[in-house]
Amino acid sequence: MGCSNTALSDLSSALSVISALAPLAQHELSQRVDTFYERLNHGKLWKHIKHKYETQEKLSESCSSHEGVTVSPLATLQLPDSSYQE
């Protein structure tokens, strides 16, 4: 009887440690996957190329002429005129 109590105590201790460390391991894995993804796609993600499309001057002009209106970064792009014939 004493042997089974010890085994259950050891098992519950092990499960407690595993359940306490699982969120930490999940967070660490998530951080590593994100870092790998950003290295793999460096130069292709919005945070790496947004300086080409957003400028402080354009955003400040947009904000001063439209107070209280949020302007998306894509709204400052000028697209070429295209005529579609049906």
Domains and CATH numbers, the chain: 13-56 (1.20.5.260)
Torsion, Cα 64 61 54 72, to 10 degrees, reads 40
pTM to 2 decimal places: 0.49
State the number of CA atoms in the 13 A half-sphere of 28 facing the CB.
5
Q: Is 71 exposed, middle or buried (0-12, 13-18, 19+ CB in 10 A)?
A: middle
Per-residue pLDDT band for 48 (boundaries 50, 70, 90) equals: very high
Q: Specify the pLDDT at position 21.
A: 95
DSSP H helices, the chain, are: 2-40, 46-53, 56-65
Q: How far apart are the C-alpha atoms of 68 and 59, rounded to whole Å?
A: 13
The whole-chain average pLDDT of the chain stands at 78
The per-residue pLDDT for 84 is 53
